C-alpha cells in the first residue's frame, strides 16, 4: 500500500493530472475559437465542410473536415500560444550562469572554507576573509 501511495503522490503524476484536467477544460475554449476561425474562413470563401463528400460511396468527407479543422487548430495554437510563450520565455528567463543560485553543496563548501580560514587566521583577522562567492571566482 505504501508503494501505491508513493506512486499517487509523485509530483509528476499530480502535475500530469492537473495538466489533463486543464487541457480538457481548455478544449472547449479551443473548439469555440476554432469555430470562430472557421466562420471567418467561411465569410471569405465558404465554410470548409466536406461532410457530404463520398467518392465511390466511401464516407471520407467527415475525416477531411476533421483534418482541415485540426490543421487550422494547430496553426492557431502554434502562433497563438507556442510562439508567444517561447518569446516571453527567451526574454524573461535568463540563461546567464551567474544568475543561477548556488547549490546546497556549493554553499556548504563555502562555509567549510570560511571556517577553515578562520581557524588558520590569527584572532581578529577573520572578518576580512568573508567574501562573496562571486568575488572569489
- Structural domain that includes position 129: 99-136
The string of pLDDT tens digits covering residues 1-28 is: 788 777 766 667 667 777 888 888 888 8
- 75 in the same domain as 31: yes
The string of pLDDT tens digits covering residues 76-126 is: 778 887 888 888 888 877 666 666 778 899 999 999 999 998 887 665 554
- 56 in the same domain as 122: no
Number of domains forming the structure of the chain: 2
DSSP secondary structure of the chain: -HHHHHHHH-HHHHHHHHHHHHHHHHHHHHHHHHHHHHHHHHHHH-----TT--GGG---HHHHHHHHHHHHHHHHHIIIIIHHHHHHHHHHS---GGGSPPPHHHHHHHHHHHHHHHHHSPTT-GGGG---HHHH-
- 17 in the same domain as 84: yes
Amino acid at each position: 500500500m505504501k508503494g501505491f501511495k508513493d506512486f499517487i503522490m509523485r509530483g509528476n503524476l499530480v502535475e500530469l493530472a492537473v495538466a489533463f484536467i486543464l487541457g480538457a477544460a481548455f478544449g472547449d475554449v479551443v473548439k469555440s475559437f476554432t469555430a470562430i476561425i472557421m466562420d471567418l474562413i467561411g465569410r471569405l470563401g465558404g465554410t470548409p465542410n466536406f461532410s457530404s463528400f463520398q467518392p465511390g460511396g466511401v464516407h471520407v468527407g467527415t475525416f477531411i473536415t476533421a483534418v482541415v479543422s485540426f490543421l487550422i487548430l494547430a496553426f492557431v495554437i502554434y502562433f497563438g500560444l507556442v510562439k508567444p510563450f517561447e518569446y516571453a520565455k527567451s526574454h524573461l528567463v535568463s540563461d546567464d550562469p551567474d544568475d543561477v543560485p548556488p547549490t546546497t553543496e556549493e554553499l556548504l563548501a563555502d562555509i567549510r572554507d570560511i571556517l577553515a580560514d578562520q581557524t588558520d587566521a590569527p584572532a581578529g583577522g577573520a572578518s576580512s576573509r568573508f567574501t562573496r562567492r562571486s568575488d572569489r571566482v
